[in-house]
Amino acid sequence: MGVLFSSPFISNPAKYAIKVQEDSELDSSSIPSYDYVIVGGGTAACVLAHRLTEDFDVTVLMIEAGEDHSNSLLHKTPALWVKTFKTPVDWGFVTTPQLGLSGRSSYWPAGKGIGGSSIINAMMYQRPCADDINEWVRLGAAGWGWEEVRKYLNKAEKYTLHPSKSNEFASHRGSDGFWKTRHLDHLPIAERYLDACDKIGIRKIDDISGPNGPLGATFVSAFIDNNMERSSVANAYLTKEVLKRPNLKVATQTYVTRIITEPIVPSGEFSHKAVGVELAKSADSPVYRVNAKREVLCCAGAVMTPQILIASGIGPTSELERLKITLVKPLDAVGRNLYDHPCVPVAFKAKPGTTFDYLNQSFYSLKALLQYLLFRRGPLTMLVGQSFAFIKSTDTSLPVDKDSSQPVKLQDATPGMASPDLELIGAPTAFRNHGFTLGPAGDSVFTIGSVLLRPLSHGSITLKSSNIWDGANIDPRYFSHENDMKVLVKSVRLSLRIARASPLADQLLLTNDNYNVEDWYHPGHTDPDEVTDEELAEFIRRHSHTLYHPMGTARIGQSPTDSVVNPQLRVHGIVNLRVIDASIFPAPLAGHTCAAVIAVAEKASDIIKADQ
Ligand SMILES: Cc1cc2nc3c(=O)[nH]c(=O)nc-3n(C[C@H](O)[C@H](O)[C@H](O)COP(=O)(O)OP(=O)(O)OC[C@H]3O[C@@H](n4cnc5c(N)ncnc54)[C@H](O)[C@@H]3O)c2cc1C
């Protein structure tokens, strides 16, 4: 029978761990131990904490660097998600200077707190497409085929039907899970965007997460509950009842700095076993230790997980030698294979009152806030991205080239006929530089964000020094593969044509002659038949940024030479250590990643339970 606990959040490590004294060895019997120690308290971690403690004989300690924000209005209110940026709930990572972005470094938000990135993300629900998931199996993830993953997507989800939809509409969505999803109200211009997509050849479909795959244009569905609040993974999986479980302990404001391993003698396939973790409140504060009787589950996200592994001696030999960290297990793929989705927003001037920009005036923003607080209605219940289209850049029926008789040749980076490589998000508001750069005063703006979903460019995460507190070099190497820029250029040109198609064009105040690269409406207000690919590429280099989907830094696969975890998510060569988060994706998923992470964690819970 496990240890009995009472308090849900504990910020003082002395209450659940033991202080490491520099000058004396710890007596192993004095080290507090839990069956499972979960590193990080984010998206995947909350699912695991819930599922593993369903068995009251199993004790779980989850250690999160940030705080609990589940009652914060900022985190709950759908339209306020960008207001969480650069606040304590955001790690606020920054990439190394990127050649492909004209030497700019890119701000990379990531959630810090119980629920992780699910408490700051844009709440756009999307299931990964079948072709992308089946590719995982070809890349060595045996047992992770589409039918299997779909089962867990359904298990996680509780979809609420929008009054405008018929019952049949929801038959493919999950109905009994904890994570609440729904379709939302939208502004009329969002529907016009879809009609304009249809006009130029992108057919309208019911649901991006439907059985026929995502190719097409439709309204966004969101992880928002019936009270029109964000359904974060924290709120969905770590409810008050779950937090009262005597076998679950949740530590906050504490950083795991190292996974502790011991050699196995004689060593075979496995050379070491994970026995616990070291943790601390800050770089200068005392170091504590806890042990894992069964396993350490590393769920620190695609940016921090590789850092923790490398700091623990698990990573590329050359890196460990450079950093003078004692080698535990050479695994070259740790921190490599970093994929992200770059996004470039193009602005179009819209007719007054057709977008959300009026909310920049304090009278209207206050009114909207009151409407939300009192009635859970109005613009704050809606998403910034309301409708979107998913296409293949190689689709020759779409007007993606300047001159259709001389199409720019591309490498098809998708794994199958139904897998897109581009997303075009229609947002009825000015959105540039993550929302930090305000649009022209008094203007209404419609933005079409082009997102590169299947980049061939990929980069790495490495530690700056052997001291994990010094941070990391985050280098996604955007556009280092020339195909990527060509694909995104096609998307931006397509967005110019969508804006000029009826009935969206009727709501916009377009011109065709704005070649001033400093102007907000460049290149939106240039002629799609005249603007050159190089002019569009220059705009992309100046203005693209992350769509917040880092993945792949501890990828799943069969071999330790090119992957980090096996299909059971066990780190190659190390007993009792698994990675469960967005790091394990073996290839970039063509879409928003949260649902996939949750499905991975749901399946991982079953794998772990079966191994007990
Ligand atoms: C701004 C933003 C917008 C997004 N929008 C969408 C969207 O609209 N739709 C969608 O599907 N996806 C979206 N995503 C992506 C999605 O949210 C992520 O892919 C997913 O949440 C990642 O889950 P994870 O478990 O891998 O990591 P996370 O949820 O980030 O969890 C990692 C956790 O580990 C903690 N941690 C890290 N290091 C340590 C340490 N050393 N010690 C203790 N704790 C540590 C972190 O604080 C964090 O809580 C967005 C992401 C962001 C950041």
CATH of the domain at 269: 3.50.50.60
Specify whether 355 is located in the same domain as 428.
yes
**Whole-angstrom distance, CA of residue 291 vs CA of residue 276:** 4
pLDDT value of position 7? 52
Nearest CA, atom 53, ligand 1: 110
One domain, residues 492 and 532: yes
Which atom from ligand 1 is nearest to the alpha carbon of 114?
49
pLDDT recorded at residue 176? 95
Q: Measure the CA–CA gap between 493 and 512, rounded to whole angstroms.
A: 13
Domain boundaries, position 512: 186-225+342-454+479-543
pLDDT for residue 149 is more than 60: yes
Dist. CA 512 → ligand 1 center (Å): 40
Please check if 256 is assigned to a binding site. yes
pTM above 0.95, yes or no: yes
Residue at token pair 């029109």: 228
Could you tell me if residue 285 is inside a domain? yes
Distance CA 345, CA 543 (A): 7
Residue that finishes a domain, picked among 543, 562, 588: 543
Can you give the CATH number for the domain in which 423 is found? 3.30.560.10
If asked whether residues 247 and 390 sit together in one domain, one would say no
Q: Cα–Cα distance between 430 and 426 in angstroms, integer?
A: 11
| List of E strands, 85-202 | 93-94, 107-108, 124-125, 157-160, 179-183
So which residues are the catalytic ones?
Answer: 549, 592
pLDDT digit string, tens, across residues 48-74: 999 999 999 999 999 999 999 988 999
Of the given ranges (158-172, 183-197, 264-278), which has the lowest mean pLDDT? 158-172
Q: Are residues 140 and 238 in the same domain?
A: yes
Q: Is residue 221 part of a domain?
A: yes
Mean pLDDT of 233-257: 97
- Specify whether 348 is located in the same domain as 242: no
pLDDT for 594: 98
Nearest in space to 503 (alpha carbons), one of 191, 253, 251: 191
Strand partners, 259: 277
Q: Which of 24-28, 337-341, 449-453 has the lowest mean pLDDT?
A: 24-28
Q: Are residues 591 and 465 in the same domain?
A: yes
CA distances from 385 to 176, 218, 429, 463, 490 (A): 27, 11, 9, 35, 21
pLDDT digit string, tens, across residues 301-331: 999 999 999 999 999 999 999 999 999 999 9
Q: Are residues 304 and 425 in the same domain?
A: no
- The reported pLDDT for the residue numbered 334 is 98
For range 375-389, the mean pLDDT: 95
Look at residues 519, 543, 567 and tell me which one is the last residue of a structural domain: 543
Does 288 reside within a domain? Answer: yes
Q: In this predicted structure, what is the pLDDT of residue 5?
A: 47
For the stretch 84-109, pLDDT in tens is 999 999 999 999 999 999 999 999 99
Lowest mean pLDDT among 44-58, 153-167, 271-285, 461-475: 153-167
Give me ligand 1 centre to Cα 301, in Å: 6
- Who's near 333: CB < 8 A, 6+ residues apart? 316, 554, 555, 557, 561, 562, 563, 564
What pLDDT is recorded for position 71?
Answer: 87
Mean pLDDT, residues 568-582 = 98
Report pLDDT for 1.
40
Q: Residue 214 has what pLDDT?
A: 95
**Is residue 26 included in any domain, yes or no?**
yes
Q: Whose CA is nearest to atom 20 of ligand 1?
A: 594
Lining residues, ligand 1, CB within 6 Å: 39-44, 63-66, 109-113, 116-118, 120-124, 126, 255-256, 299-302, 304, 308, 548-549, 581-582, 592-595, 597
Strand partners, 124: 222
In the chain, what percentage of residues exceed pLDDT 90?
Answer: 93
Helix (H, G, I), strand (E, B) or coil at 387: strand
Enumerate residues 6+ apart whose C-beta is below 8 A from 280.
Answer: 13, 254, 255, 257, 286, 287, 288
64 Cα to the center of ligand 1, angstroms:
12
Whole-angstrom CA distances from 313 to 322, 328, 352 are: 12, 5, 58
Looking at residue 164, what is its pLDDT? Answer: 82
Distance, CA 333 to ligand 1 centroid (Å)? 21
User: What is the pLDDT averaged over residues 518-543?
Assistant: 97
What secondary structure letter does DSSP report for 128? P
φ, ψ of residue 594 in degrees (nearest 5): -60, -45
Q: Are 158 and 179 in contact (CB under 8 A)?
A: yes
Distance between CA 408 and CA 236 in Å, rounded? Answer: 46
Question: Is-contact 486 410, C-beta < 8 A?
Answer: yes
Q: Is 96 domain-assigned?
A: no
Ligand 1, atom 35: closest residue by C-alpha: 40
Last residue of a domain, which of 490, 524, 543?
A: 543
> Do residues 573 and 542 make contact, with C-beta atoms less than 8 angstroms apart?
no
- What residues have CB less than 8 Å from 421, skipping those under 6 apart? 391, 392, 393, 394, 412, 413, 414, 452, 453, 454, 487, 590
**Ligand 1 mutation target, pool 46, 48, 112, 121, most atoms within 8 A of CB:** 121
The reply to whether 347 and 330 lie within a common domain is no
pLDDT at residue 612 tops 90: no
Contacts of 224 (CB under 8 A, 6+ apart): 78, 123, 180, 181, 182, 184, 230, 231, 381
One-letter amino acid identity for 573? Answer: G
Q: Residues for the chain: how many in total? A: 612
301: left (phi over 0), alpha (psi -120 to 50) or beta: left
Residues 268-279, mean pLDDT to the nearest whole number: 94
Residue 113 backbone dihedrals phi, psi, to 5 degrees: 150, 170
Nearest-atom index, ligand 1, CA of 300: 34
Average pLDDT over residues 401-418: 93
- Cα–Cα distance measured from residue 363 to residue 366, given in angstroms and rounded to the nearest whole number: 5
Q: Tokens 């019936």: give the residue.
A: 226
Residue 199 shares a structural domain with residue 146 = no
Burial class (CB in 10 A: 0-12, 13-18, 19+), 264: middle
CA of 116 to the centre of ligand 1 (A): 5
> Do 450 and 461 have their domain in common?
no
Domain total of the chain: 2
pLDDT tops 70 at residue 447: yes
In this structure, the answer to whether residues 263 and 395 fall within a common structural domain is: no
Ligand 1 atom closest to Cα of residue 113: 49
The span from the CA of 421 to the CA of 131, in Å, is 12
Ligand 1 site-directed mutation target among 451, 593, 598, most atoms within 8 Å of CB? 593
The verdict on residue 489 lying in a domain is yes
- Report if residue 169 sits inside a domain: no
Closest C-alpha to ligand 1, atom 31:
42
Q: Do residues 559 and 486 share a domain?
A: no
- What CA–CA distance (Å, rounded) separates 567 from 558? 7
Average pLDDT, the chain: 95
Does the structure show a pLDDT above 80 at 2?
A: no
Ligand 1, pocket-test mutation among 233, 425, 594, 603, most atoms within 8 A of CB? 594
**Per the domain annotation, does 181 fall within a domain?**
no
Instruction: Return the structure tokens found at 375.
Output: 């009635």
In whole angstroms, what is the distance from residue 555 CA to residue 461 CA? 13
Average pLDDT over residues 144-164: 95
